[in-house]
Amino acid sequence: MADSAQVVLQESGWHVYFSSQWDVLGPFPLSAREQHFLSPAFPWNLSESIDTQLNRAWPSSYADNAHIRPTTAYSDAEGNLEVSFPDIRWETLRSTEGWSVLQHHAVLRTRLTITPPPPSENPPAVPRLLVDLVQGSYFTLVPRNDHDHTSKPFIPEWHAGNIYDMRRSLPSAVNLPTAPSFEQPTHYDLVVSGDYEIRLFGDPHSAGREYPVLKLRLAVKTESLNPEIVREPLMDVICDFVDGYAFGDALGIGLRSVNGWWSVDELSLLPDIPSVSGLELKLLNKARLAPSQARILPIAITQANRFTAKSLTFSIILKSTNSAHQQISISVTINFNHLSLWTQESFKDIKATYFYASAHASAFVVKPPMKHGEPAPPMLALHGAGVDVLSMTLWAEAIPRQQHRWVVIPTGRTAWGLDWHGPSAQDAFASVNALSGILRGQQVWKPWGFDPDIKIMLLGHSNGGQGAWYLASRDPDKVLGVVAAAGYIKSQLYVSLTHSRRSGHFLDPSLRGILESSLMPDDNDLFLSNLVDMPVFVIHGANDDNVPTWHSREYYSTLRSWRSDANITYREDPGVRHWYPEMFQKDDVKAFLGSLSHNDSLPSKSFTLTVGHPSQSGSLHGWTIDNQRIPGRLSRLHVVIEDGGLRVQTVNVHQFSFKPADIPKVSILSIDGKTFRFSPESGVSVHLLFYVASTAQGSQSEEPGRRQKRSIPPGRLLNILESSTPLSIVVPDVDRYPMALSVALRIAHNLAVYHQLDAEILTDSEAIEYVTHGTLSSGNLIIVGGYENTFTQYLLKFEETEFAVSDGIFTFGQSPIDRPSTGIIFTHPHPVNVNSMALIVSGTDESGLERALRLVPLRTGVPVPDWILIGDEADNRGGAGIIGAGLWDRDWRRSEAMSWTP
């Protein structure tokens, strides 16, 4: 096929083309998520000409004779591209290594051309590109015309692709790396990291293929800088109306700043529309948009009486923060879906809304029960990966309508979310609480209501089945029972990391252990002790071609290993594969659900509470582990109930607490062989310090000599996503460090695509002013830059961690970090809120900052502990390029047991 170029789109006279011909180099062995450590261009060096590198042979263990050369692929007119390597003997590889060997990396290059508009007296401004890369991990633009790579190394600006093919996601806004010519075409290389992961793309055998095929889709268009604000209706969040009343109190309106900084201060309903009488919309809080940033404006809904109009128009007023006198009014029209009140005989699934993290309009779906009466525990139904419950009905249709039980179907933030961990777990529980509030909001709905603190029933399939295991075992006192179908155990067992592909050939085993400690809180099998007293029903299709059947068998076996009489039922359905809608329709599942009552399960005479990190674990029979002795390791409480006493054995526990009222007629407590008497009339907090136990009645004791109360270190960077309010991203003044704004915008974009999480971008001077006046957001912070950012300097001067900035460079433990191209990323206490945290993202130079940016967590399975220093060797050796990594202890100091430096 001959090379051809295709016009993608033009605006304001600028044309953009990309060639349908692609250079492809691959496959290279890759572990899942390893691309966050490697250079996305691996093995190419983008500081050198790609054309000269195309003539080389490259080593790859997948190829006969252990080397590969570039090949050519072609995209179609819609930008669809299929990448495969049929000459690789895939069946031979998988015969010994299993399907994990199918995972691989390829780097792709095509030519992108921009042609200028016809000459004029007032030439238009240089355009921005909107790039939508679907199912690719990263992309960047490299200049081709007269670019001297020898005088100054080119530092690529990597943008994350929409690897999960999330719906309702906007393209990336990309500034050209060099200005295009106004007189002739300008050429750039578009470089893409194409990474085939089994969890994303599946076993090719399921599609009748012998080898994996990576399917990418690329769309590119130019964007002029006018108009300065555009509506993004794709991002809107709108609830259904039931019998004339909003089923939720939240509305979200998508806006994007094309050019400039804008604040949204107010909205106004059009007064000449009589149908809005009794309906009030109010901007929940003011919002600001940075240049090219998109946000969902949170709008609160209140009603005095029924509203029956099918649409509503109002105006949003924006003011420029660049010009005191510039103001824009955006007219917004939204359409509503009206439903009749459900009955025993008829109903429709309802889309409800609420404010996640206090200010982010979010939606979920509910299925009403047939009858009301005594409130029944609601069912929380967790969907599988890639299922968009707001637009796809197959998941809701597979769940039988219940007699008295509401079925709550959360989004998990997005179709993939965070595997029902972190913000996805928060969204699931918050959706149940939101439904309780919605039903209390209208008199006609109150008989169908339930208490927000009621225990729930968990049900899930595939990734949702895994999520059901996760939620139940991390917060067992909130859950009555579990139905888990086709759930995998954990990512490392779904697709084996045994070979660890690139990094594992160079990685110090002790460093590997520290990195993988950040995955431990997600490992469901380690927490099954928490479920021995909970009814569990496990289902799996015997011919599952997606999640191997042995995962559910291992769940069953492991739980029975904790207690042989554990209340767990296992059903394996013959002749069916991964998804079959009748899995929950059988009588045994209906009988299991009907057997669950409101009564709390009584503890056995002995039980074990297992905790990975206290902040992500709830109580078991009223017992909690509040703090650990050594971070990154499992903590356990073995509790034995005896006549008149409790015998407790601790493992890696610094502090725990329980309520004696949950264990009646007990007045003697034995902890690790030491005996205490206590009054069961009040709560008890037990504080363990250096193996010395003491008790305090009614409240927790304070650790001696502690300078101030601070949050428990998170143990991993991933916890930055669990914020009580929208995140704040703090950057230096643009004139002082222009790259920081680019980094902040890419972080904000990725948060929106991957998790539907909102973020506001602040300058460092604003952040310091907000701290001074007590108005800084209480949510988590992401701070971009080191000595360049005065807010970073402000935080580090308090010496709350071992990082500091001195004479324009970072230091760690008083040792300078002055190696070029080093990425620096670490967690830090929040300056005002002990329940929140900060994440500082920096580098010794711009290439180091780019390297740190790729470690800002977006997905599960990326092993990133509390702090990491990563050098340029990571480009070719992945995690083995780490210079230092570890966890903080309780005082935010380097944990000697859980830190590594060469």
Report d(CA 398, CA 396) in Å as an integer: 5
Residue type, 286: K
DSSP label at residue 880: G
* CA angle centred on 698, ends 692 and 701, rounded to 5°: 40
* β-strand pairing of 104-115 with 186-196: antiparallel
Phi, psi of 746 (to 5 degrees): -70, -40
Instruction: Kindly state the helix (H) or strand (E) to which residue 874 belongs, with its residue range.
Output: helix 874-877
Which is nearest to 817 in space by CA: 843, 794, 792?
A: 843
587/826 Cα distance (integer angstroms):
51
- Helical ranges in 61-158 per DSSP H: 90-97
Residues contacting residue 852 through CB under 8 Å, at least 6 positions apart: 823, 824, 825, 841, 842, 843, 868, 870
Looking from the CA of 498 toward its CB, the CA atoms found within 13 Å total 10
Q: How far is CA 247 from the centre of its chain?
A: 27
Burial call 405-416: b when 16+ CB within 10 Å, e when fewer: bbbbbbbbbbbb
Question: Which residues of the chain, if any, have pLDDT below 50?
Answer: 1-2, 7-9, 146-150, 272-275, 689-707
How far does CA 326 lie from the centroid of its chain? Answer: 37
Given a contact cutoff of 8 angstroms between Cβ atoms, the answer to whether 693 and 841 are in contact is: no
DSSP 597: -
Distance CA 132, CA 134 (A): 6
Give residue 5's pLDDT.
52
Structure tokens at 819: 């190696």
What is the number of other CB atoms lying within 10 angstroms of the CB of residue 4?
Answer: 12
pLDDT of residue 504: 87
- Residue 28 contacts residue 106 (beta carbons within 8 Å): yes
Query: Nearest CA to 596 among 466, 446, 485, 483?
Result: 483
Alpha-carbon distance of 337 to 236, in angstroms, equals: 14
Question: How far, in Å, CA of 493 to CA of 170, rounded?
Answer: 33
DSSP readout, 298-322? EEEEEESS----SEEEEEEEEEESS
Say how far apart CA 44 and CA 106 lie, in whole Å: 11
In CATH, 229-419 is 3.40.50.720? no
- How far, in Å, CA of 663 to CA of 643, rounded? 11
Residue 782 contacts residue 747 (beta carbons within 8 Å): yes
What DSSP element (H or E) covers 535?
A: none
Q: Which pair of tokens denotes residue 631?
A: 């971070």
Tokens 């957001």 map to which residue?
777
SS (H, E, C) 57-87: CEECCCCHHHEECCEEEECCCCCEEEEECCC
Distance, in Å, from the CA atom of 878 to the CA atom of 895, rounded to the nearest integer, reads 24
Q: Are 7 and 110 in contact (CB under 8 A)?
A: no
Measured torsion, CA atoms of residues 690, 693, 699, 704, in degrees rounded to the nearest 10: -40
Look-up of token digits 């001077």: 765
pTM: 0.95
DSSP state of 545: S
DSSP string, 819-855: -TT-EEEEEEE-SS-TT-EEEEEEESSHHHHHHHHTT
Residue 442, exposed/middle/buried by CB under 10 A (0-12, 13-18, 19+)? Answer: middle
- pLDDT of 323 reads 72
**Per-residue pLDDT tens digits for 46-97:** 999 999 999 899 999 999 999 999 999 999 999 999 999 999 999 999 999 9
Tokens of 423: 């913000």
- What pLDDT is recorded for position 661? 61
What single DSSP character describes residue 584? G
Which residues, at least 6 apart from 208, have a Cβ–Cβ distance to it below 8 Å? none
Site of tokens 């209501």 = 449
User: In this structure, how many other beta carbons lie within 10 angstroms of the beta carbon of residue 120?
Assistant: 9
In degrees, to the nearest 5, what angle opens at C-alpha 171 toward C-alphas 42 and 289?
A: 115
pLDDT, residue 707, reads 36
Query: 């207690």: which residue's tokens?
Result: 563
Please give the helix or strand (H or E) that residue 51 lies within, else none: helix 50-53
CA–CA–CA angle 399, 401, 402 (5° rounding):
115
Give the 3-state secondary structure of 791-827.
HHHHHHCCCCCCEEEECCEEEECCEEECCCCCEEEEE
Domain positions in the chain are 5-223, 229-419, 482-583, 606-628+632-697, 717-900
Contacts of 180 (CB under 8 A, 6+ apart): 14, 114, 116, 126, 186
The backbone torsions φ and ψ at residue 684, rounded to the nearest 5 degrees and listed phi first, read: -125, 135
Radius of gyration of the chain from Cα atoms? Answer: 28
Question: For 482-583, CATH number?
Answer: 3.40.50.1820
Judging by beta carbons within 10 Å of its beta carbon (0-12, 13-18, 19+), is residue 397 exposed, middle or buried?
A: exposed
How many angstroms separate the CA atoms of 701 and 107, rounded? 56
CA pair distance 899, 902, nearest whole angstrom? 10
Q: What is the pLDDT of residue 262?
A: 95
pLDDT given at position 696: 42
Cα 115 to Cα 130: distance, rounded to the nearest angstrom: 16
366 closest CA partner among 387, 350, 345: 350
Provide the pLDDT for residue 741: 97
Please tell me the distance from the alpha carbon of residue 396 to that of residue 483, in angstroms, as a whole number. Answer: 15
Residue 456 bridge partners (DSSP):
479
Cα separation, 897 vs 499, in Å, equals: 26
Helix, coil or strand: residue 753:
helix
Helices (H), 441-508: 463-474, 491-494, 501-504
- CA 724 – CA 715 distance, rounded (Å): 18
Structure tokens at 153: 């190394």
Complete DSSP assignment for 628-696: -SSTTS-EEEEEEEETTEEEEEEES-SEEEE-GGGS-S--EEEETTEEEE--TTS-EEEEEETTEEEEE
CATH entry, 717-900, from 3.40.190, 3.40.50, 1.25.40, 3.30.379: 3.30.379
